[in-house]
Each structure stands twice: as C-alpha cells, then as structure tokens.
Amino acid sequence: HVHLEEGVVLAEIRPVLNVGKSKVFRNADPTGLSGGEQATAAAVAVFGDEYQYRIDWIKDRKWMIDMARLADAKICAIRDEKGKTLAAGTTATAVWVQGRELYWISCGDSRMYLFHDEASTQVSTDLNYSYLLEQKRRDGAISQEQYQQEIRRGASLISFLGQGKLTLMDRNLDALKLYPGDVILLCTDGLYHTLDENWMRETLRRSGSMEQAARTFAWAVEKYGPGHQDNYTGLLIKVLRTDGLE
C-alpha cells in the first residue's frame, strides 16, 4: 500500500475517495461563467460517484478520460429554471493513485505540482491561449510580431469542462512513481498566481504536516493576494511510506 497524508489547502474541501489500494483526488475551479459553482459541483460528483460505481472493473487510466468527457457533457447540459443553458464551465485536475503509481488528467489551467526531494515540478500544462500561441510560434505558423499582439489574451482558456465535445486534455501516458516524502499539490490559478513555487516548496519543507502547510498557504494567499483576489482551492497529498513496494 501507499500510505498518504491528505491536507486541504483552502476552505472548500474536495472529498477524497479511498477504495482498497486505490485512491482518487480531484480539484476544480469555476471558470467565472454563470453557473460556475454548479459546474464545479457536477464535475466533482462525476469523478466521485462514477469512480465508486466503476471501481470493481476499472482496468486502466482511460477511465479518467471517460469521466472528463462525461463531466463535460453533464455540465454543458445544465439549465436554469427557465430551461435555458447556463453556459457554465469549470477547470479541473484529478489524480488516481493505484498502488504506488499515480495517473493524472487536467482540463484548463488548474495545475498539478510534484515536490520530490529538494525539487519541484509543474507537471500539468496550462491549456490556455498562450499554450496555443507557443505551439504556433514554434511551428512557424505565426510571426513574433503576431505572437506579441495576441499574447495579451494568453490567459483565455481553450479547454474546460462544460465547453461541449471536450477534446483537449493533458494527462500522463506513463505512470508517475511515488516515493516516501513526495508531495502532490492540486490547485487553481487563484493560488499559484499568488504564491511563488519556490516559496511553496520551502514552506512544505519546513512544515510539520500537510495541515500546517495548508494553513500557511491559505494565510499567505489572504495576506498577499491582490485586491481582486480570485477564488482559490487546492489539495495537498503526501506520500508517507510505500511498504512492500519497489
């Protein structure tokens, strides 16, 4: 088994499901569109409820792709009391721990970080307009001048749950091996736009527990966040030990 310590970074707790040797964690952030909170709740429910329903016959990581597409369709179909679509959406990042192997999937610009030994890595890719522009510039499809003109809109999302017919997702093809002491952070842009990655790494190193680190993260966002601070949510997961595993 992989023994994990969980700590919630901020006020909104995302339930952690634990079934046998398998765990699933997820983090979501409304895009700011009408009905964003409903979209977030729907995404969390899909990953949670469907995981519990499917646990006996899940064979590989592809179930996460199915869940993302199902959440996208359900959110896209949300309607108000008058029967009109809400045009709601949410970004999301989820991880599935199977034994000591971790699989992840991300839609939008919510992030996954891995803190291993003294290093930290942003594992997921921000699926926004900047990502698309970088690809076009690298491929020679746009000039540097065009890039500079368009990058001002770089934060615009090109992937989120609720856009309908979701196709763009970021995920790992090979399992991410977990080691004692590793910490995984799932967070929304409201957190990583305020807290420096190096500061987060040092805070995790000095904290006695994930609960303490979570409280420090929340304190720092509230103290140093801008006047127009975005909502922010995150989840910390720490690997305590990996008994009996290579």
pTM to 2 decimal places: 0.84
Give residue 54's pLDDT: 65
Query: Which secondary structure element, helix H or strand E, spans residue 44, and what is its range?
Result: helix 36-54
Lowest-confidence region among 25-34, 101-110, 143-152, 165-174: 25-34
Alpha carbon 6 to its chain centroid, in Å, reads 15
Q: Which whole number is the average pLDDT over 131-159?
A: 94
Give residue 241's pLDDT: 73
Give residue 10's pLDDT: 35
Kindly state the tokens that stand for 235: 């989840």
Residue 142 has pLDDT above 70, yes or no: yes
Contact predicate 213/236, CB 8 Å: yes
Residue 104 has pLDDT above 80, yes or no: yes
Termini Cα distance of the chain: 11
**Among residues 124, 123, 115, which one has the least CA distance to residue 198?**
115
Give residue 14's pLDDT: 36
Kindly state the tokens that stand for 222: 């509230």
Contact predicate 85/76, CB 8 Å: yes
Q: How confident is the model at residue 22 (pLDDT cuts 50, 70, 90)?
A: very low
Q: What are phi and psi of 216, to 5 degrees?
A: -70, -40
Mean confidence (pLDDT) of the chain = 82
Give residue 34's pLDDT: 57
- Number of residues written out for the chain: 246
Residue 15 has pLDDT above 50, yes or no: no
- Cβ neighbors of 69 (< 8 A, separation 6 or more) are 166
Map residue 231 onto helix, strand or coil: coil
CB count within 10 Å of CB 79 equals: 11
* pLDDT tens, residue by residue, 200-245: 999 999 998 999 999 999 999 988 877 766 778 889 999 887 654 4
DSSP helix, strand, coil percent of the chain (3-state; round to 5): 35, 25, 40
Give residue 7's pLDDT: 38
- Give the integer Cα–Cα distance in Å for 9 and 217: 7
Cα torsion 149, 168, 95, 103: sign = negative
- Give the integer Cα–Cα distance in Å for 127 and 125: 6
**Among residues 95, 107, 113, which one has the least CA distance to residue 187?**
113
| DSSP code at position 39 | H
* pLDDT tens, residue by residue, 75-93: 998 888 888 887 788 899 9
